[in-house]
Amino acid sequence: MIDDHPTEIEAMRLFREGRGAEASKLQAQWVEQMLASGEDYCTCPSNCAYHGDCVRCIIVHRGHGDHLPHCMRAMVNRRIDVLSGLTEHSFEREARGEA
């Protein structure tokens, strides 16, 4: 599990509290743990040359600017859902032409 990982969430809480050194240490430990696991965290269903190579994948996606990598969609969609809720999700109805 990489998304919404409790250790990284805790690190972000520490950053927000101004405890940067402690947060950085926790974050570095977590990243090393994730990398050492050897697991494939890439959620992209496409069979592309950049599967699992986050740096190159991000370079490509930032370069074309057309869409987000698959691994970022759920996070962005959760944020959009919260914002859409501010207008009773009228954006979704308008996008479907239901105004």
What is the model's pLDDT at position 54?
Answer: 92
Question: Does 51 fall in a domain?
Answer: no
Tokens for 17?
A: 């509290």
Question: Does 26 fall in a domain?
Answer: yes
- What's the pLDDT band for 1 if we cut at 50, 70, 90? confident
Q: Which of 2-11, 23-32, 66-75, 87-96 has the lowest mean pLDDT?
A: 87-96
Question: Does 10 fall in a domain?
Answer: yes
- What's the pLDDT band for 76 if we cut at 50, 70, 90? very high
What are the start-end ranges of the H helices in the chain? 6-16, 20-36, 54-64, 70-85, 90-95
Question: Does 27 fall in a domain?
Answer: yes
Tokens for 91?
A: 């954006």
Question: Does 73 fall in a domain?
Answer: no
For residue 51, report the phi and psi dihedrals to the nearest 5 degrees: -55, 120
The yes-or-no verdict on residue 99 having pLDDT over 80 is no
By CB atoms closer than 10 A (0-12, 13-18, 19+), residue 99 is: exposed
The yes-or-no verdict on residue 75 having pLDDT over 90 is yes
Q: What is the span of the domain harbouring residue 8?
A: 1-39
Question: Does 84 fall in a domain?
Answer: no
Question: Does 23 fall in a domain?
Answer: yes
Q: For the chain, what is the domain count?
A: 1
